[in-house]
Amino acid sequence: MTKLLEELCNAFGPSGDEAEVRTLLKKEMKKHLKDVRVDKFGNLICRKEGKGPRIMLAAHMDEIGLMIKDIKEDGSIRFSTIGGIEPITLVGQEVIIKTKKGKKINGVISFEELQNDYAIEELPSVDELYIDIGLDKKAVKKLGIEVGDYALPKTKFKTLGSKDIISGKALDDRIGCYILVEIAKRLKKSSADIFFVFTVQEEIGLYGAHTSVHAVDPDYGIAVETTNAEDAGEEDVVQIGKGPVLILKDSEIITNECLDDDLRLVARKLKKPLQLKVEELGTTDATKIMLSKGGVPSTTLSVAVRNIHSTISVSSLKDVQDVLAILLEFLKKPPRTCIK
């Protein structure tokens, strides 16, 4: 089960440079569907045609990352963050820089106190961090590294304490991408007209969902996502391994009650645990789907992930399997409308 998920998580795909991920997904989706295309913005849109309601399933291909913004005389490579990354998680990490010609170069993130072995009295800001490849500016440029190049943590997909616990970069949202591929593979009978949309540039503004929804023109949509676990400390709110997470509210959306109720009924029917979440921060592609074409009912079904906006995250395969099971059952007899 994990081979494709591992390939997806290990693929290089920050916001704005999703080509490697898209190529992998396009190859997989062509095994199961005939209607597979890439739009002008870079979204991968795949259709399983039917006579029932038009349903948009969205999962974003892009991941958080870094973009080179300056190369100093001493060869230190300064960067800007792409998406929300906690600076503390970058310190001391290995990264891969990808040049415009596709060459990949290893580096290490450092800052002055760490490099010189001085006492570290306070945590550095992003502006104080840099990538060190051990060369001066002239040699750095000779390798083809320039402003605008991307860099990502050099982290590989793996299991941790058990085969159920997975770890790696880009679990947000290669997990969702994996689930969409598995739905296309396993769903044999459905009246629905289903669009599997793998979106770009979610991490910096939900842009792919905003553009693709106009082409799809769905009756309703579901963002298949990940969400931050809240299971450290004394109070467990949202935990990994305790079931899918249905988002009822985030910073920008109150999800569609009709869709939420139907998904809850399916989970109950399958005897799958379902965690409910109301949060103050963050949002998903569901928001852009909802606010388009005069308004489109939408919701978000997620997998809980620890350390979600860091260089390495942790999640549960069982939760991934349960989201897949719920969506497969839901799509067998989906509602025609979602107004309540």
Q: What residues act catalytically?
A: 202
Helix (H) or strand (E) holding 100: none
Residue 71 Cα distances to 11, 17, 107, 127, angstroms: 26, 21, 13, 13
10 Å CB burial of residue 78 (0-12, 13-18, 19+) is: middle
CA gap 104, 63 in Å, rounded: 17
Q: Is the separation of the CB atoms in 334 and 259 below 8 Å?
A: no
Q: Is the separation of the CB atoms in 173 and 26 below 8 Å?
A: no
- One-letter amino acid at 314 equals V
* SS3 state at 8: helix
Q: Which two tokens stand for residue 59?
A: 């999962």
CA gap 35, 17 in Å, rounded: 23
CA gap 250, 172 in Å, rounded: 17
Question: 200 in the Ramachandran plot: left (φ > 0), alpha (ψ -120 to 50) or beta?
Answer: beta
For residues 213, 217, 218 and 220, what is the CA-based torsion angle, rounded to 10 degrees?
70
Q: List Cβ neighbours of 273 (8 Å cut-off, separation of 6 or more).
A: 242, 243, 244, 267, 322
